[in-house]
Amino acid sequence: TVISLLFALALGAITVGLNFNNMTETALQATYYDAVLYKRDAKVNQQLKKVAVRKQTTLNYKVNGKKKFPVLYVTDQEIAKKKIKFQSGRKNGDQMNWKTKTITVAGVKNKKQEMNFQLASLTPYSDYEVKVVTPAEYMKIPGKNKQVTLLLINNFRSNFNNIEKLQKMSLDQTVTKDAQGVYVSLNNSKSAQYRLVASVASGFEFMGFFLGLAFLAMLASTLMFKVLSGANSDRPRYEMLWKVGSRRKLLKSSIKAEIGTLFALPAVLGVIDVLFGLQFFKGILANPYDKIWIPFTIFLVLYLLYYLITVKLYEGIVLKK
């Protein structure tokens, strides 16, 4: 019926809207380090004091950009000692699962593995070839030793504005001198990904709530009109029951059961529609059924409120003394 469809549309819109908020959690899981500092100066260090750093790791490297194929050099000891980590994504059906892995010397040497790319992407030279050398070979390589600082920060969400500012301050210094790959690094930074996903998710979340409440208002109006429009014609029936000795309490129970049936049937059909309909959102939502009890609870509380208001209005018409 139209009422069950309105119920499904209202509940579905609120459920999907809330699920878009979970996209931000996925964005946080996709990148291991909360911030990557390419250069350090007094301003960056001052900004660094505003965030609660849980762990700090430095990666030393050299680059030779004069060759036909630019190379980024890292020592085997540096890789083994620092135990740099990254998030590896594997698709399981329609869901993306993230697993934390540690970069190893063997993994970097094998250029077919993702570790080679993951190590390079932590520097401003994400398009350079990575080459692992011994400490003795590293000392002979011409050029200045470079560093990146990898940060894990407590409470990323609450510290987000300071983290984003810190990341941009470090990157802005790099763009002018070391432009190679820095834009890729900027787009791959955790703060940039979180900002992008959060802005999209918040828009869809608002749209979901707005549409959900709009459909709920239409649903309530339709149900109320259906019930209350027949109240005057039902009044003689209840007057007759009153005259033959039916108690007022019994009449109220009868009204609640009658109206409850009218509200319950479209609700059951609507819930079934939503549970099946969420399957279509698996392509854009990691898990559309995650925390589904939250929107269902919110919606059913509002729906129950409309039911109680309708019962009260109906009783006021048919049980007039």
Q: What DSSP assignment string belongs to 14-72?
A: HHHHHHHTTHHHHHHHH-S-SEEES---HHHHHHHTTS-EEEEEEEEEEEETTSSS-EE
CA-based nearest residue to 42, from 143, 152, 173, 146: 173
Confidence bin at 184 (pLDDT 50/70/90): very low
| CA 106 to each of CA 81, 102, 109, 155, 304: distance values in angstroms, whole numbers, following the listed order | 14, 11, 5, 34, 61
Confidence bin at 320 (pLDDT 50/70/90): low
The reported pTM is: 0.70
Rounded Cα–Cα distance for residues 127 and 2 (Å):
57
Q: Which pLDDT does position 182 carry in this prediction? A: 52
Answer whether residue 172 shows pLDDT above 70: no
What burial class does residue 223 get, using C-beta atoms within 10 Å of its C-beta: 0-12 exposed, 13-18 middle, 19+ buried? buried
Residue ranges of alpha helices (H) inside 230-290 are 231-243, 248-277
Rounded Cα–Cα distance for residues 227 and 276 (Å):
29
The percent of residues above 70 in pLDDT, for the chain, comes to 89
Tell me: the pLDDT tens digits for 216-275? 888 888 888 888 887 777 777 777 777 777 777 887 888 888 888 888 888 888 888 888
Length of the chain: 321
Residue 178 CB neighbour total at 10 angstroms:
17
How much is the average pLDDT of 146-169?
A: 89
How much is the average pLDDT of 142-170?
A: 89
Averaged pLDDT score across all residues of the chain: 82
Q: Higher-confidence residue: 86 or 291?
A: 86
Residue 141: CA count within 13 A, CB half-sphere? 24
